[in-house]
Amino acid sequence: MEPKADIALIGLAVMGQNLILNMNDHGFTVVAFNRTVEKVDHFMANEAKGTKVIGAHSIEEMVAQLKRPRRVMLMVKAGKPVDEFIEHLLPHLEPGDIIIDGGNSLFEDTARRVKYVESKGLLYIGTGVSGGEEGARHGPSIMPGGSPAAWPHVKDIFQAIAAKVDNGTPCCDWVGEGGAGHYVKMVHNGIEYGDMQLICEAYNILKNGLGMTADEMHLVLKEWDHTIEQWILRLNSLSKWCPEFELPPIGDEDRRHLIEQICHGAIGYKDIKDREVRGVVQSWLSHPQRELLDKHAPERLSLANGRTPKVSYEASNPPHIAMRIQELYDVMQTPKIALGRVPVLVHILTPGMKPVQVTQDLANFWREHYPRIKSELQRRYPKHEWR
């Protein structure tokens, strides 16, 4: 029998099941296996019914279904079960095959396993998978690390099933050797738990300090939204790029003062429900300072072709815009902000909003890359304008 499966997954708890279904949705053939084989039968008769998923009742049967190099992903409890499954798998695999641990393993254990599996001639990946059950089903964040030679063989699968940002970039890329993948996941979890603690503390203040109900708190907290965060990022970025403007950045302690100012004098929901968050935050700057901010770190750019794309600001990355190729026609030079000191990163998209290229040199893009890209995309998008 000719092997026809792209990957196998061991562990049919909800996360494992949903990852399998996600892979199936993206055109990959998956072999499902569980130590308790009754779970395999139940999964195949219910959640996986009508899919291309293949059920296996033994490791031998599972491995026989896999194309080479064989890719086997473990979604089992961290610790001893991972080591046990590695030992079960090794006799059935051959040099170049890949074992993937998608659980929450300690990064030091993953580094040890990479060395051990590589000593047997195989490859090993330890990857963080974030997003819970819903993310596993419809698009998780994936953080793979381990044996670099394994990445080209799993890249297409992982990036296909991963969540995507607005410009189509997958929330998945290679993060490094050894235990790097699970180390990144550990840091990721720490940030996530810090965010949850912050939400809990805000909830405690609003509930017990102001006596607000859940519905009332929702109405208040939704006002501090993405637009507020972008305004603060614009300010903090410009204060670094152009220190001569002497714009005062907003730090963590300043945020707390602003929240106190918004809530000052309130003893209940009725006192706070109509207060404007944006106005209070922007009052951090004087009118002339706000004009400097709008001019040199604008919310939107004015391009040579008349278009006005929205600029996204990030704390650790350059500002960027995302536009389809046709929307960039007649824009020959990279836009710059902050007195011309900061080039804006341009995410260039297909007419179908898929990423094509990221550049800070539009002139070079039009000269060196556009002719080839036009030739490739014109056949796929014949109804769109191509110059």
Model confidence pLDDT, tens digit, residues 279-320: 888 899 999 999 999 999 999 999 999 999 999 999 889 999
Provide the token pair at 285: 């700057």
Q: Per-residue confidence at 208, pLDDT binned at 50, 70, 90? A: confident
Average pLDDT (241-261) is 87
| pLDDT average, residue stretch 366-384 | 88
Q: Are 37 and 45 in contact (CB under 8 A)?
A: no
For residue 12, pLDDT beyond 80? yes
pLDDT for 257 equals: 79
Among residues 235, 340, 231, the alpha carbon closest in space to that of 292 is found at 235
Does pLDDT of 381 surpass 90? no
More confident residue, 29 or 255: 29
Confidence of residue 269 (pLDDT cuts 50, 70, 90): low
Distance CA 127, CA 89 (A): 18
Q: Give the pairing type, strands 345-349 and 123-130.
A: unpaired
Share of the chain above pLDDT 90, in %: 71
% of the chain exceeding 70 in pLDDT: 93
Say yes or no to pLDDT of 23 above 70. yes
- Specify the pTM: 0.59
Which burial class, exposed, middle or buried, applies to 316 when counting CB atoms under 10 A from its CB (0-12, 13-18, 19+)? exposed
Active site residues: 185, 192
pLDDT tens-digit series, residues 80-111: 999 999 999 999 999 999 999 999 999 999 99
Structure tokens, 195: 């965010």
**Beta-carbon contacts of residue 364 (< 8 Å; ≥ 6 apart):** none
Give the N- to C-terminal CA distance of the chain in Å, as an integer. 51
C-alpha to C-alpha distance for 58 and 271, rounded to whole angstroms: 65
Half-sphere exposure of 71 (CA within 13 A, CB side): 21
> How high is the pLDDT of residue 102?
97
Is the pLDDT score of 234 beyond 60?
A: yes
pLDDT at position 21 over 70 = yes
- What is the average per-residue pLDDT within 251-258? 82
Q: pLDDT tens, 110-151?
A: 999 999 999 999 999 999 999 988 899 999 999 999 999 999
Question: Is the model's pLDDT at 29 over the cut of 90?
Answer: yes
Mean pLDDT of 24-52: 95
Q: Does 239 have pLDDT greater than 80?
A: yes
The pLDDT of residue 151: 97
Residue 193 pLDDT: 86
Cβ atoms of 176 and 144 closer than 8 Å: no
Residue 255's pLDDT band (cuts 50, 70, 90): confident
What is the distance between the alpha carbons of residues 358 and 369, in angstroms, rounded to a whole number? 11
> Residue 225 has what pLDDT?
73
- pLDDT for the residue numbered 272: 60
CA distance 142 to 128: 6
